[in-house]
Amino acid sequence: MKVQTVEAIPVAYQEPTDHNRFRSVCLVKITDSDGRVGWGEACAYFPEATLAVTKIVEGLAPIVIGQTPLHTEAIWLKLKEHSWWYGTGAGIASLAISGIDIALWDLKGKQLQTSVLDLLGGPVRNQLPAIASLHGTKASIDAMAEEIAAHTDTGLHGAKVGFGKAGDADLGFDETRDLAFVDKVQAAMGPGKDLMIDLGVKNFWDVPTAIRRARAFEERGVAWLEEPLGHDDPAGYAALRAASGIRIAYGEREWNARGVQRIVETGTVDVVGLDPGRVEGITGFRKAADICALNRRQANAHNFSTAIVGAASQALSFACPACYLLELQPVYGPAQQDLVDRPIWHVDGYVNMPEGPGLGIAVNEDLVQSARMDR
């Protein structure tokens, strides 16, 4: 039961939770000598990066072909060693390794007729709370508050809202508007629902602005403030940490466990975002989440891609002690709803437990082929 083929498939799809913007990712399909198939995903998001990752996966394929899928750690190390010149510590290589590694874990589970969750050691919790992860896109604050409350009324435990995104929301620029948004969303959701604020790349706050806004958000009970100073500003985050007690989140743009360790050691991050499609797969996510657990930090899957990364995030979040909740896109498009037979979802605000061998999903290959970028 050796690896027989490794196929890199660049796809593009519209994302309704991101203002119907086209996103692209590289899916990885690994087939063994008995015809079993494992699926993975590299979250490249941009077409040029997706096509680059496709070429890297094709270049790494000879290292994987002929190997035993059970040896995920050994193969992961070989891939990192091979990419020493163009992937040491970060970059496109990490994305490619992510897609291959997720597919190998899926295939390993299918060979052993065991779920990835069980292969990771089993669930460390019986329930996994879910929150909505979405972007603010409308000009009307009242309309956005009503929309977000409708999502949390399904049982979701709160919402993480991205500022500075496509659309007409214009959030993250004017303090008065931002605070009015927080007040109205919290009132619309009602008590017992958490609100998290996630700054986008279009927002630029200097340290005094971040401190002022963080203090105002803290007074209003915002659960955490994500990337208020971008992904890499240790001195700025140290000043923010000293001036405010709000929980600070960042880290989803790190490439590997070493990067996560670096930011944790600064003492400025409370919630570390991790993306299995970026941080060197299931293997890399687990290593990074273990660092978070050892340092009493929360890890949080950046579950904002297709159903394949969703299934990996589901298994990892149940298995890793540092993961306390899971973000779900409240509006599914084809990449989440139709790509697999059993999309991850929630019941009364709690994520369903993974079932079945591997990632527990069967991929709609007709949909994959129709979404190919290289047709």
Encode burial over 59-94: b for 16+ CB neighbours within 10 A, e otherwise: ebbebbeebebeebeebbeebbebbeeebeeeebbb
Residue 351 pairs in a beta bridge with 346
pLDDT digits 0-9 by tens, 106-150 = 999 999 999 999 999 999 999 999 999 999 999 999 999 999 999
pLDDT of residue 375: 64
Q: What is the pTM of this model?
A: 0.97
Task: Tell me the pLDDT of the chain averaged across its residues.
Answer: 96
How many other C-beta atoms can be found within 10 angstroms of the C-beta atom of residue 139?
10
- CB burial of residue 198 (10 Å; 0-12, 13-18, 19+): buried
CA distance 328 to 134: 8
The tokens of 367 are what? 């949909």
Q: What is the CA radius of gyration of the chain?
A: 20
pLDDT at 166 over 90: no
Task: Tell me the pLDDT band of 315, cut-offs 50, 70 and 90.
Answer: very high
